[in-house]
Structure 1
Amino acid sequence: MDPKHRSVLQRNRVTLVVDLKPSELYDGLLEKGIFTQDMIDEIKNSGTRRDQARQLLCDLEKRGSQAFPCFIQCLRDAGQLPLAELLLGGEAPVQPLVPTALEDIRPVLQPLPVCMYFFLWTPAIIDNNNFECSLYSPESEYRIPRPPRRTRKDSIQTYKMDASPCGHCLIINNVKFEPNADLSDRKGSNVDCDKLEKRFKSLNFIVRVKTNLRYKQIRHELCVLSKIDHSQFDCCVVIILSHGTEVNHNRFPGAVHGVDGPAVPVQFITNYLNGQHCPSLQGKPKLFFIQACGGGEKDTGFEVSPDEVEPYMGGADDQTDAMPMSSSSDSISTSDEPDARATLPTPSDILVSYSTFPGFVSWRDPLSGSWYVEILDNILEENADANDLVTMLMMVNNEVSQNSAKGLYKQMPGSFNFLRKLLYFQTQSQGQTPA
């Protein structure tokens, strides 16, 4: 796109996001060849009308020299003439930033009572001549007791998680990649898949496993899941085991590859189950577990005192879930195979747990599976009876962070947590029968 046209779009972005009606432009932009059908579908799945407008404008800047004039024509054809005129030289109306009658919004100031209280060092002995600092009133010569510390811990609610079965769990396990994808097979992923299938069945979920899905098949399965009536269930879980990559985003980082190569952004994956696209899951927890690289960078960690961690040395054949890279300065043996590329409309009630920090690789053993899944499974088995999910994920973070690949490389899982309540899974010890 011509830099001049890009500047016009960026200068008027706020007005466009507020007033643009993207749904009225899709057919015209598709007919004129500015966008493909896949691009239109991704924009539609990006969230609210404003989210779609933002995504449309972002994509438009990358669609060549004819994108701007075609966009103007589409605005005219759709009857959105004020926006077309704005982009061709008109000016957006200026809204006042503050009310003219400032008196209506000024707080009324009341004088505070004057109290002659001072912080003084007092001779109150606690242990062996250790003095404490107290609050005194010079007039009454007695100590003012501190008010009790207020806490909101008791007001934290928990999600309802007693439906039987508790909900659906979709596992997408991509192991064998097509030759033109330029991605290696993910040895050990079937071990991860088996562990998680058994684990979430034991937590009373209906588990469905899909193996070796292409880009469009991943999106199709997520669409099918979003169309299910979840009214009788309390939760929904999506687990994706695949290669991953780092992408631009405005909510959730990262993307996961289909076996044919193209990658589905995590923010699109979560959108399928948000309140707009899946009303029967509104207010219910939607959990996403992503075992994939967040990029191609390797973390060598930093030095700590010996008693800070109990190091675990990864296996000699540990691999990563990021695209094969080569470097003459890379000291890793040839057996190492890095294999990934170097809001309800808002995201409430969504938690995305990543096996690694955005931008970094995620390590996997060809025999025992990935570090993240192995430890996640163990933590759930040992702690789900007594601990909430967020607490258990911190346990996972701690244990994974102590592993080392080749005695050199580290991994740090993490979560984007938009849950509003504590989440406790059902367990068999609580009298639930697995689905």
Structure 2
Amino acid sequence: MEEAMCIESPQNQDVADAKPVSETDSFPFGSGKSETHSPKPVATTIQTTSEFYSHVYKMNYPNRGKAIIINNKTFDRNTGLNERRGTDLDSSALNCRLSELDFDVDLHHDLKAEEIKNILKKAADLDHKDNDCFVCAILSHGEDGFVWGKDKKIPINDLMEPFKGNKCVSLAGKPKIFFIQACRGTKFDEGVDMNVGDVKGFMDVEPQFSLQKIPSEADFLIAYSVVPGYYSWRNTISGSWFVQALSEVLMKHAQNLDLLTMMTRVNQIVANKFQSNTSNPNMNEKKQIPCVTSMLTKEVYFKSK
């Protein structure tokens, strides 16, 4: 049954970013085997006391930072994964939006699992001391806790691990933002009917900075295209619901809203604007809601430099 559910036709329709499987493994962020202890790294991010305790991240370093987009469209035959038609519109939209926000964007297509891990490991090894933050967008098939390289799946936690504060010290205390467009299971959101009426419109001294300890897991934001357990929808002509909504919100509001508020706007667009339109009646008229996991400790603004 699942095999039939994931077959795409050449017409303009909505499809799900998942391998046709009935069971998925779970590997949430922060789980996994315990780490061996290594010498504590010396922090290279220097902040004044007022910056450290501010409610807003410092975003006036010389550079906005590195952004990496992984766009996987085709997959090895033995994976059983369909081509992700429409994803090139997503990668192009994100490339434009992030470039407009002054990020140094690297766009990669159709990478194997080890290639993805190596690219992100190299990015984490860079010196980010002059950067505001880091962004990574992964567009691929997925399961809960995993995304797919073109050859095999990867635990999402493995991709984020090198950026933790105790590993990438030049990003310690700075935002690490991940956008993940991929399925997280095989359930469909049937939605719920609502009766909607006819409504129109819808004095601080700065002492010498002292050493402060912060959680190594802090300052991450992971924006998933869908909640755990569910399919994530992508239109074969116009791109995925989540990334297109994200692109729209960044274009309109990046100069005046903080990131979490913008992600709430993205949730609203995906929830209210989209509904699946497919020739398979079992997949038709389904809904979707993104899911944002935030370990941010401050507000993120992308105002022009």
Answer whether TM exceeds 0.5 for this pair: yes
Instruction: Give the 5 Å matches for 1:141-290.
Output: 157-246=55-144, 254-260=145-151, 262-290=152-180
Aligned: 1:301 with 2:199: no
> Is 1:383 the counterpart of 2:260 in the alignment?
no
After superposition, the Cα gap between the structure-2 partners of 1:308 and 1:383, relative to the gap in structure 1 and judged at 3 Å, is farther
| Residue in structure 2 matched with residue 401 of structure 1 by the alignment | 271
TM-score, normalised to structure 2, is 0.74
Q: What's the CA shift for 1:168?
A: 0.2
1:359 aligns with 2:250: no
Contact 1:47 1:345 in 2 (8 A): no
Q: How many residues matched?
A: 242
- Is residue 46–residue 268 contact of structure 1 (8 Å, CA) maintained in 2? no
**1:22-44 CA deviation, whole Å, 9 max, x = no partner?**
xxxxxxxxxxxxxxxxxxxx9xx
Cα distance change, pair 156–213 in 1 and its aligned pair in 2 (3 A): same
Query: Does residue 1:418 correspond to 2:295, yes or no?
Result: yes
Structure 1 distance, partners of 2:179, 2:64, is 17
TM-score where L is the length of structure 1 = 0.53
Q: Structure 2 CA distance, aligned partners of 1:172 and 1:290? A: 10
Cα distance in 2 for residues equivalent to 1:358 and 1:394: 17
Once the two structures are superposed, residues 364-396 of structure 1 have per-residue CA deviations (whole angstroms, 9 ceiling, x without a partner) of 111111011111111111111111000000000
CA deviation vs aligned residue, 1:117-163 (integer Å, no higher than 9, x gap): xxxxxxxxxxxxxxxxxxxxxxxxxxxxxxxxxxxxxx861001122
Q: Deviations over 1:73-119 (max 9, x none)?
A: xxxxxxxxxxxxxxxxxxxxxxxxxxxxxxxxxxxxxxxxxxxxxxx
CA–CA distance in 2 between the matches of 1:196 and 1:213?
18
Is the contact made by 2:66 and 2:133 (CA closer than 8 Å) also made in structure 1? yes
More moved, 382-391 vs 297-306: 297-306
Provide the C-alpha distance between the structure 2 equivalents of 1:422 and 1:208, rounded to a whole number of angstroms. Answer: 25
Matched, 1:51 2:34: yes
Structure 1 residue aligned with 2:241: 371
Bigger helix share: 1
Contact 1:188 1:364 survives alignment (8 Å): yes
Is the contact made by 1:357 and 1:413 (CA closer than 8 Å) also made in structure 2? Answer: yes
Structure 2 unmatched runs, 5+: 1-26, 37-52, 201-213, 278-283
Give the conservation status (yes or no) of the 8 Å contact 1:176–1:259.
Answer: yes
3-state secondary structure, aligned to 2:194: coil
C-alpha spacing 1:296/1:159, structure 2 compared with 1 (3 Å): same
Deviations 1:30-73, CA, capped at 9 Å, x for gaps: xxxxxxxxxxxx9xx9799x8337xxxxxxxxxxxxxxxxxxxx
State the distance in 1 between where 2:267 and 2:35 align: 34
8 A Cα contact 1:170 1:209, kept in partner:
yes
Between 299-308 and 369-378, the greater mean CA deviation after superposition: 299-308
Does the CA contact (< 8 Å) of 1:158 and 1:421 recur in 2? yes
Alpha carbons of structure 1 residues 379 and 47: separation in structure 2 relative to 1, 3 Å: same
Give the alignment of 1:83-122 within 5 angstroms.
none
- Give me the CA root mean square deviation: 2.4
What secondary structure sits across from 1:397 in the alignment? helix
Q: Which residue does 1:147 correspond to in 2? A: none
Which residue does the alignment assign to 2:204? none
Are 1:292 and 2:176 matched, yes or no? Answer: no
Q: Distance in 2 between matches of 1:46 and 1:357?
A: 17
Paired letter, 1:257:
W
Amino acid across the alignment from 2:106: R
Question: What residue identity is the alignment partner of 1:409?
Answer: K
Question: Does structure 1 retain, via aligned residues, the 8 Å contact 2:256–2:303?
Answer: no
Q: Partners of 1:309 and 1:351 in 2: how far apart?
A: 34
Matched residues in 2 for 1:201 and 1:385: separation?
A: 14
SS of 2:226's equivalent in the other structure is coil
Instruction: Tell me how far apart the structure 2 counterparts of residues 411 and 308 of structure 1 sit (CA, whole Å).
Output: 24
> 1:213 and 1:349 mapped to 2: Cα distance?
27
Give the percent of matched residue pairs that are identical in Structure 1 and Structure 2: 36
1:350 to 220, 233, 237: 220
Say if 1:231 and 1:187 are closer, same or farther in 2 by CA, change over 3 A.
Answer: same
Contact 1:215 1:259 in 2 (8 A): yes
Contact 2:31 2:157 in 1 (8 A): no
Indicate the SS of the match to 2:34: helix
| CA shift for structure 1 position 164 | 3.6
* TM-aligned CA distance change 1:227 to 1:296, over 3 Å: same
Question: Max radius of gyration: which structure?
Answer: 1
Deviation at 1:414, TM superposition (A): 1.3
